[in-house]
Structure 1
Amino acid sequence: MFKLTGKIAVITGGGSGIGKAISLLFAQSGAEVHILELNQEAASAVVDEINVNNGKAYAHGVDVSKQEEMLHVINGIGKVDILVNNAGIAHVGNLENCKAEDFERVYNVNVKGAYNALYSVIPLMKKQGGGAILNMASIAAQVGITDRFAYSMSKGAIAAMTLSVARDYIADGIRCNSISPARVHTPFVDGFIAKNYPGKEEEMFAKLAASQPIGRMAKPDEIASLALYLCADEAGFVTGNDYPIDGGFIKLNN
């Protein structure tokens, strides 16, 4: 079950963390994987890992916030069966601590980047008769998270765009869903803690892990497994939905 044999998958931000886990699993499941990544060195490392294991993958150095770059790369690929909008950045701070440049930086990558990918891919999917789109939202789109004003804004936009695209293109055979992870243990999290809580890394890691009722952060592979299902043909009746994968964070934190 859940094979992607013969599918062409585009994954933004596929060079590390959740995106890397999705890229590896999709390739293992038979997809031809195209990683769109600002850090082309990281993307190339993942591509090498896939190709060594008899998969098929390509790395594309691209800034998702630049529409012309995205159109050039996507049109160059030519056919896209699956799009995973995973590229994203975070910001710590409430409204008063969020400067205009901080807000715009998060918006440009998380919101405009997803829009650019959708704008580039939808015409190809319409022409070929369908496709599957998966957007990476967050629990921050559904509950209030302290000091995540800009990030929460961006993930709320992702949730809304998911519904809009699912509704507008359902007759074209295009499915669009989103995943809302709680905290996931990636190198990004380790760097985030080190940057924002120097000297308190162990304390903050334990605190962030404990915020999930299940008692730990998610593993990238766990997010990838849900992504595989939602992009596979077995999920052909699933569209316009968000799937929290949160260790009970949304409904059990009481």
Structure 2
Amino acid sequence: MTQRFTDKVAVVTGAGAGIGAAVARRLAAEGARVAVFDRDLPAARETARVAGGGAEAFEVDVSAPAGVRDAMAEVVERFGGIDVLVNVAGVVRYGEVPDFSEQDWDLVIGTNLTGTFLTTKYAIPAMRARGGGSIVTFASAQAFASQPLVAAYSASKGAVVSMTRTLALDHAKDNIRVNCVCPGSVETPMLQYGAELLDERDPKETMRDWGGQHPIGRLIQPEDVATVVAFLASDDASVITGASHLVDGGLLARLGV
């Protein structure tokens, strides 16, 4: 495997499981020293153990300003700086708006949108000090074509797409690139949660059906997404910024969006 991140420091949020864990493993395999952020510390520690390469776990709730600020400062102190930030942390809750609790709204927006704002806010000064860097945000195919019962989730992801464009414009002068990854249905604990909640059948069967809606005929794997993230975060993508990248197995092409 190429070593595109030798001597680089990467922060990956939501890295205790799913896509975040796959991204942390991939960046570490390519030479990065990875700060594994997750609110589930045991899960973060397991990801750091598997990733190796000096990866370390941090217990971080990305919706908590002081916690994000302090964690980023600790990464800089312990690792010497930050070169890459990958904002994977995200949650989903389901329901029509009249029945949707304010607590669930705050959880989804706080994690998916405010969390991206906070981690970016506190990573950019450290990137400036290193002469630049790369930020990869996470939205979803649902930022462009939604489904029932996900008003908060789709709102948060659409906002991340828009915020990514502005961040890219604001920080091109700092040699900081900002891109957004928009996956389709990825085989993760979040997808299983949705399958268990929304369908009375076996969740694995439901997830296979969702995968079959993609032209590629299967669920996307976390490692598939991590490959795209690693490219965007690397110098191989030096002229790519401000863009949203569908990693959706052709789903939106089928929907005609």
Counterparts of 1:33-44 in structure 2, within 5 Å, are: 33-44=34-45
Paired with 1:97 and 1:140, the residues of 2 have a C-alpha distance of 21
How far off is 1:2 after superposition?
A: 6.2
Q: Which residue is equivalent to 1:151?
A: 153
Is the alpha carbon distance of 1:2 and 1:177 closer, same or farther for their aligned partners in structure 2, counting shifts above 3 Å? farther
Q: Which residue is equivalent to 2:47?
A: 46
Any conservation in 2 of the 1:214–1:247 contact (CA below 8 Å)? yes
Paired with 2:3 and 2:184, the residues of 1 have a C-alpha distance of 24
Q: Which residue is equivalent to 1:21?
A: 22
Paired with 2:151 and 2:213, the residues of 1 have a C-alpha distance of 18
Secondary structure of the residue that 1:177 maps to in structure 2?
A: strand
Paired with 1:23 and 1:204, the residues of 2 have a C-alpha distance of 28
Is the alpha carbon distance of 1:197 and 1:250 closer, same or farther for their aligned partners in structure 2, counting shifts above 3 Å? same
Paired with 1:143 and 1:202, the residues of 2 have a C-alpha distance of 24
Q: Which residue is equivalent to 2:7?
A: 6
Q: Which residue is equivalent to 1:177?
A: 179
User: Please, what TM-score do these two structures have when normalized by structure 1?
Assistant: 0.94
Paired with 1:187 and 1:202, the residues of 2 have a C-alpha distance of 11
Paired with 2:212 and 2:99, the residues of 1 have a C-alpha distance of 26
User: 1:15 corresponds to which letter in structure 2?
Assistant: G
Counterparts of 1:69-218 in structure 2, within 5 Å, are: 69-78=67-76, 79-218=81-220
User: Please, what TM-score do these two structures have when normalized by structure 2?
Assistant: 0.93
Paired with 1:192 and 1:142, the residues of 2 have a C-alpha distance of 19
For the aligned residues, what is the CA RMSD? 1.5
Is the alpha carbon distance of 1:202 and 1:237 closer, same or farther for their aligned partners in structure 2, counting shifts above 3 Å? closer
Which stretch shifts more, 226-235 or 122-131? 122-131
How far off is 1:200 after superposition?
A: 4.5
How far off is 1:63 after superposition?
A: 0.9
How far off is 1:92 after superposition?
A: 1.6
Which stretch shifts more, 146-155 or 92-101? 92-101
Unaligned runs of 5+ in 2: none
Paired with 2:250 and 2:51, the residues of 1 have a C-alpha distance of 33
User: 1:132 corresponds to which letter in structure 2?
Assistant: S
Q: Deviations over 1:83-134 (max 9, x none)?
A: 0000000122232332222211101111111111011111111222211000
Any conservation in 1 of the 2:208–2:219 contact (CA below 8 Å)? no
How far off is 1:211 after superposition?
A: 2.0
What is the aligned-residue identity percentage?
31
Paired with 2:91 and 2:216, the residues of 1 have a C-alpha distance of 25
Any conservation in 1 of the 2:93–2:153 contact (CA below 8 Å)? yes
Any conservation in 2 of the 1:139–1:244 contact (CA below 8 Å)? yes
Q: Deviations over 1:161-202 (max 9, x none)?
A: 101110001011000001000000113322332244344435
Secondary structure of the residue that 2:137 maps to in structure 1?
A: strand
User: 1:56 corresponds to which letter in structure 2?
Assistant: G
Any conservation in 2 of the 1:67–1:116 contact (CA below 8 Å)? yes
Secondary structure of the residue that 1:87 maps to in structure 2?
A: coil
Is the alpha carbon distance of 1:127 and 1:202 closer, same or farther for their aligned partners in structure 2, counting shifts above 3 Å? closer
